[in-house]
Structure 1
Amino acid sequence: MFGGGSVGRIAVDCYRVLTNNDIESTIVYGRGVPPKDVTTYKIGNTAGIYLHVLLTRLFDACGYGSYFATKKLIRYLEEYNPDVIHMHNLHGYYINVFLLFDYLKKTNKRVIWTLHDCWSYTGHCPYYSLEKCEKWKTGCKKCIRKHEHPKSLFWDGSKRNYNDKRRSFCGVDRMTIVTPSQWLKREVQQSFLKEYPIEVINNGIDVNVFYPRDNSVREKYRIGDKFVILGVANVWGYPKGLDVFEYLADTLDFRKYQIIMVGLTEMQIKNIDKRILALKHTESVDELAELYSAADVFLNPTRCDNFPTTNLEAQACGTPVITFTGTGSPESVGCECGIIVEQNDLEGIKEAILECQKNPKSIEACVEHANNYKKEIAYTQYLELYMQG
């Protein structure tokens, strides 16, 4: 899926690494618009996606739709005959995962599956850390997140989904699972997918784009010498910590502090506390790097995450990170590059901000740490994995 997240970018970067090594590849996708220089195959069409969404809304059946589109994809794969099949997220309403895994078991191809969340081994949800639910360890039922993505309006299909996934996703002879974080690896090792080898390949960033910039943002928005707290997300809500920023808006002295939030919808911008500098999503990586560089601290109070590259991008621009425990987010924060706060400890977040203000973290230490996560390192690891027998 292209647009709106990192998964499409990762697939394209892997494609380009393969091309640079004279290895043929194709990206199979279901939604979005791919770059023009990439060879692709599109699964299904818009009508099929809408029908799949309808099945999910009515019957909690994400992964059960797109039957004919997936049949057609399998015929394409049989003709293309790849040596390695590398999969990413499969819950975008464009593929029938059960047909796909039937094919994978029969074809005996080398399979790599990069998990970007927890959907593959739960009965419904991509993340369960908010409620600290552990039903996925033994068998999902009576899902308390059925109204969250992938949203079901009425039916709770979590027990059926869990059992069908376990039957379908297990038993692929030559499959390796990749997780971007040690946290997700530990979770997978407690799930029905524990039968597979699991490798950790961290998400990487482009340090040629994310590096310390000048302070033009402060001039543009007339921030002056205020202490700047930055938040960036594709979708803002409670899972990403919107409430934390609202809490800070009520408790910090705005003569001394400036909160900037990037990625808000027009409705959120209209309704949010006017003391917050509220910005829409930006497609400009240069603008984003300038915002990171202008900030004194990057605040990422996420409650549902795997290995957020925003933490790394901020550190690459010389900005320390404050984040919650409970997900893979703390793994990307260097020892001298930020502060980890117990999940939901709002006062702890405020204290961490004051600590970063009193004892600023080293810009050089942040940049040095981020350089350990250059995207070239990640894609070299993927290339080595592709070449294994």
Structure 2
Amino acid sequence: MIDLKVVHLNTYDGNGGAGRACLRLSDALKASGIDSKVLVYYKFGRNPEIDTFSKSPLQKAKAVYNILSERYFAKWLSKSVKTPFSLQWFGRSVINHPDIKNADIIHLHWVNHGFLNPKFLAQLDELEKPIVWTFHDSNAFTGGCHVRYGCEHFHQQCGHCPILKISGKNDISHKTWMRKQQAYTKLNFHIVAPSKWMAASVKFSSLLGTRKTTVIPNTIETKIFKPYVKSEAKKVLKINPDQFVLMSGFMPSKNDKHKGTPYLIEALEILSRRSGIQKENIELVIFGNKENAEMPEFPFKTTFLGTINKDDHLAKCYSAADAFITPSLEDNLPNTVMESLSCATPVIAFTTGGIPDMVKHMQNGYLAKYQNAEDLANGIEWLYHRPNKEEIQKAARLSILTDFSEEVIAAEHTHLYETLIGLQPK
């Protein structure tokens, strides 16, 4: 094993899917013998192995100012506060940090919310080090949006943005696109796409379509997210072991069409009317933050677990489920899907984004036709009536161990790093 130093940059320490993916990768690399460190813009937790650029009271105040300003102006300019958009007006320089100066590889992750704007991204070129950038969403190659919801303006130069209150040919999305183009001409970096869908999206983008891109999925702690005896896991949640448990992450609003919540509600209503379904034998269990959320009405008994902060308990929750369902309409490589499969719980989802990279139709889950509530209901019914559920549960676990384990993903990243610094043939 070569002496390779990698520093990962992310805005937050595990707050959100990208942060968790960043930390999981760094831990996997360290376990494989790589000197891997994580530097974040603002640190919420107390993990001593994670360093931050914002240590002093003044630095913390500046970071909070940048983060809140970026988010406030974006919400003020957007039609909906539920649709993420980044202006990237605010940022800070990072090139003088000793860990960055000493690193062999700089690995960028999610660097929005006032952290690295185009100006300070371009500044990284002064270091003359290989740069890897994992795209956890679409923002790097759009004029500001993180989730595109079918918009194809990024194929050109953005503009006429459907998210903005005031849009046109030269709107803020186009101006942001121009700033990014100027920065990217000064910066050489290698793109990592966690899913085939994200890689294809990059190829269609006018900003980065010609850049080298490697598909490497995120990883997961398979020793933490592991199967527990299903009947025992149900008892932990005080659920009758004979119940068919359908689990999902919390949907923030029944009217939030981008999250797919209306399709889930419709699918459950369709399911409840089918003759072969005994409503009293099905229980819907939902976890996640339900603060300030509109609570949808479901046709089955529903249990809300709230936010689950401990991964070992979350693994038991996944294990208690007979199926995990996500109605997401656009997602890169959702952690919840990977976590569920790792706990041997099959997944029901739409055929969209990077989900098909993990869910194999009728092997470890069910891929419903896009935006088709009827087929989503078919997936639930298929698992509900399946006689040998253990077979598909084993397939779910094996799919993660084979393609997404820490050892596999660490090895793929190490090979890429070595290629970029000239230790491996390209």
Q: TM-score higher than 0.5 here?
A: yes
Match 1:382 to one of 413, 416, 426: 413
- Which structure 2 residues correspond to residues 30-41 of structure 1 after superposition, within 5 A? 30-41=41-52
Structure 2 letter corresponding to 1:115: F
In 1, Cα distance between equivalents of 2:37 and 2:194: 22
Question: Who is 1:56 aligned against?
Answer: 74
1:365 maps onto 2:381 in alignment: no
Taking a change above 3 Å as real, the CA distance of residues 105 and 59 of structure 1, as seen in their structure-2 partners, is farther
* Structure 1 residue ranges without an equivalent (≥5): none
Taking a change above 3 Å as real, the CA distance of residues 324 and 21 of structure 1, as seen in their structure-2 partners, is closer
RMSD: 2.9
Superposed displacement of residue 171, structure 1: 4.5
Match 2:305 to one of 262, 272, 279: 279
Taking a change above 3 Å as real, the CA distance of residues 284 and 255 of structure 1, as seen in their structure-2 partners, is same
Contact 2:252 2:294 in 1 (8 A): no
Taking a change above 3 Å as real, the CA distance of residues 230 and 5 of structure 1, as seen in their structure-2 partners, is same
Question: Who is 1:226 aligned against?
Answer: 243
Deviations 1:302-340, CA, capped at 9 Å, x for gaps: 112101132222122221111112311121113511111
Number of residues of Structure 1 aligned to a counterpart in Structure 2: 377
1:206 maps onto 2:221 in alignment: yes
Superposed displacement of residue 350, structure 1: 0.6
1:5 maps onto 2:16 in alignment: yes
1:137 maps onto 2:137 in alignment: no
- Which structure 2 residues correspond to residues 28-177 of structure 1 after superposition, within 5 A? 28-43=39-54, 44-58=62-76, 62-67=86-91, 70-71=92-93, 73-76=94-97, 80-91=101-112, 93-128=113-148, 130=149, 132-146=150-164, 156-173=171-188, 175-177=189-191
Contact 2:263 2:372 in 1 (8 A): no
In 1, Cα distance between equivalents of 2:163 and 2:137: 15
In 2, Cα distance between equivalents of 1:309 and 1:261: 16
Deviations 1:81-100, CA, capped at 9 Å, x for gaps: 43321101122x12242222
In 2, Cα distance between equivalents of 1:340 and 1:23: 37
In 2, Cα distance between equivalents of 1:21 and 1:8: 20
* SS in structure 2 of the partner of residue 183 of structure 1: helix
Deviations 1:247-306, CA, capped at 9 Å, x for gaps: 345442531211111114134376654832122120121221112111111111111210
Taking a change above 3 Å as real, the CA distance of residues 62 and 349 of structure 1, as seen in their structure-2 partners, is closer
Question: Who is 1:303 aligned against?
Answer: 329
Deviations 1:216-236, CA, capped at 9 Å, x for gaps: 443343334222111125967
* SS in structure 1 of the partner of residue 176 of structure 2: helix
- Is 345-354 or 99-108 further displaced after alignment? 99-108
Taking a change above 3 Å as real, the CA distance of residues 78 and 65 of structure 1, as seen in their structure-2 partners, is farther
* SS in structure 1 of the partner of residue 356 of structure 2: helix
Taking a change above 3 Å as real, the CA distance of residues 40 and 187 of structure 1, as seen in their structure-2 partners, is same
* SS in structure 2 of the partner of residue 62 of structure 1: coil
Contact 2:360 2:367 in 1 (8 A): no
Q: TM-score, normalised by structure 1?
A: 0.86
In 2, Cα distance between equivalents of 1:142 and 1:171: 27
In 1, Cα distance between equivalents of 2:328 and 2:100: 43
Question: Who is 1:318 aligned against?
Answer: 344
Taking a change above 3 Å as real, the CA distance of residues 241 and 217 of structure 1, as seen in their structure-2 partners, is farther
Superposed displacement of residue 203, structure 1: 1.1
* SS in structure 1 of the partner of residue 95 of structure 2: helix
Contact 2:13 2:45 in 1 (8 A): yes
Contact 2:122 2:187 in 1 (8 A): no
Superposed displacement of residue 17, structure 1: 5.0
Deviations 1:118-154, CA, capped at 9 Å, x for gaps: 11111121111x3x2111101211211237xxxx9xx
Question: Who is 1:254 aligned against?
Answer: 279
In 2, Cα distance between equivalents of 1:289 and 1:207: 10
* Structure 2 residue ranges without an equivalent (≥5): 1-11, 55-61, 79-84, 273-277, 422-426
